[in-house]
Amino acid sequence: MASTAPWFRVSRFYEVVDPTKGIIRCLICERKCVLPKSIHGFCYNHINIDGRLYDISYGLLSALEPRPIEIKPLFHYYPNSVALTFSGWGCNFRCPWCQNYFLSFSKPKPELSIKLSPAELVSIAKKLKLHGLCASFNEPTIHADYLVDLGEEAKGSGLYLTMVTNGYMTTSTLKEFLRVGYTGFSIDIKGCPETYKRFFGADPLIVYRNAKYILDNNGHVEIVYLVVPKANDSQECIDWVINKHLEYLGEDVPLHINRYYPAHKYYEPPTSIKLLLDIYEKARKAGIKYVYVGNIGDEAYEATRCPRCGKLLILRRNYRVVKWNLTRDNRCPRCGEKINIYGKPILNSNRTSK
């Protein structure tokens, strides 16, 4: 098969399984697709061409826009900053309730893509005077080759590097992300083992393994739990998520409990607010210090309070920080409690967020 398109690149992330037949294994995510010649992987972004793994969507972006970091959500990472947010096509999961299914369940579409090299992406972010780069909307992991090159390109630029991910990359891919400078990770936990088995044929402990690895290597993690009726909202599932959060990540890692709305092929009504608030109370009582409820339009549940004395520290509105009440070294001004904040807040910025 010819490999002439400029968005075809030989990947760094594969191994040869059978040299005589040219069978290879992709090592980007934990699906570890085994690919005979001319066969593409689960995410549609990689194909075996003559015994080598090709990324066939290198630099094909499906969306590009500056977005506030709070919308990711990342509430404790460079607060109030704005990142140049970009996406590609495809995903290594198939969530039936996916809000971005038109991107995530699509094969790469060169004819509809914005074509940008890593250097061009960095240059745009600098020209717009943004604070960072964020891979989001579809699953970033499957664009590992592009993201690693982007990290190399962004070195010395002053831009932070972050991603919104399902956390299902291999350890070797994650090591590369960390090596080139990705520091902020908004990671979805989609439920308990039963949820992962039923909908994805996957294992949620891999997600916690990766989140812990990031923390152990000085990165920043926030966990997002979209509570989907009849998929991951049983009491057993809720307890499992809270327990694993504390066991693997600890009490300082923020937990965002988000409301689901019907989308794509999933038609259950939106998550009940009462259930979301019950989970919020349960997580706090269990010891998680920073718990938020998203997608309900109530800023009281998007505010940060001191986990020790209860003082209001950060108030957010429309994904922007409207009140910042921490000392310069990120402590509660009333009781001195150290608050988990990664990176400098961007305060007194006149930039409009969207």
Which helix (H) or strand (E) segment holds residue 197: the answer is helix 193-199
Closer to ligand SF4 by CB, 31 or 256: give it.
31
Which is nearer to ligand SF4, 86 or 200 (by Cβ)?
200
Nearer to ligand SF4, 43 or 84 (CB): 43
Residue 43 CB, nearest approach to ligand SF4 (Å):
3
* Nearby residues of 130 by Cβ (< 8 Å), 6 or more positions away: 66, 81, 82, 83, 84, 159
Give the helix/strand (H/E) hosting 321. strand 320-324
Cβ of residue 15: shortest distance to ligand SF4, in angstroms? 11
- Select the residue whose beta carbon is closest to ligand SF4 and give its number: 41
What single-letter DSSP state applies at residue 331? B
Q: Closest distance between ligand SF4 and the C-beta of residue 202, in Å?
A: 11
Give min distance, CB of 237 to ligand SF4, in A: 25
Q: Whole-number minimum distance, CB 139 to ligand SF4, in Å?
A: 9
Nearer to ligand SF4, 148 or 257 (CB): 148
28 or 60, CB closer to ligand SF4?
28
Residue (of 154, 254, 85, 326) closest to 345 by Cα position: 326
CB-CB contact of 320 with 68 (8 Å)? yes
Residue among 82, 61, 209, 214 at smallest CA distance from 140: 61
Closest C-alpha to 167, from 150, 151, 182: 182
How far is the C-alpha of 332 from the C-alpha of 70, rounded, in Å? 20
Look up residue 351 and give its amino acid.
R
Q: Of 28 and 148, which has the nearer Cβ to ligand SF4?
A: 28
Rounded least distance, CB 215 to ligand SF4, Å: 23
CA distances from 109 to 8, 103, 220, 329 (A): 13, 10, 32, 46
For ligand SF4, the closer of residues 33 and 314 by Cβ is 33
Q: Considering the complex, what minimum distance in angstroms separates the CB of residue 37 from ligand SF4? A: 14
Name which of 32 and 282 has its Cβ closer to ligand SF4. 32
Residues that bind ligand SF4 (CB under 6 A): 26, 28-29, 31-33, 41-43, 45-46, 92, 142
Query: Phi and psi at residue 33, in whole multiples of 5°?
Result: -60, 130
**Rg (Cα) of the chain, in Å, rounded?**
20
Label the pairing between strands 60-61 and 63-68. unpaired
Do 309 and 333 meet the contact criterion of CB atoms below 8 Å apart?
A: no
Closer Cβ to ligand SF4, 43 or 283, answer by number: 43
167 with 206: CB under 8 angstroms? yes
CB of 155 to ligand SF4, least distance (A): 25
Least CB distance to ligand SF4 at residue 238 (A) = 29
Sign for the pseudo-dihedral over CA of 298, 299, 304, 305: negative
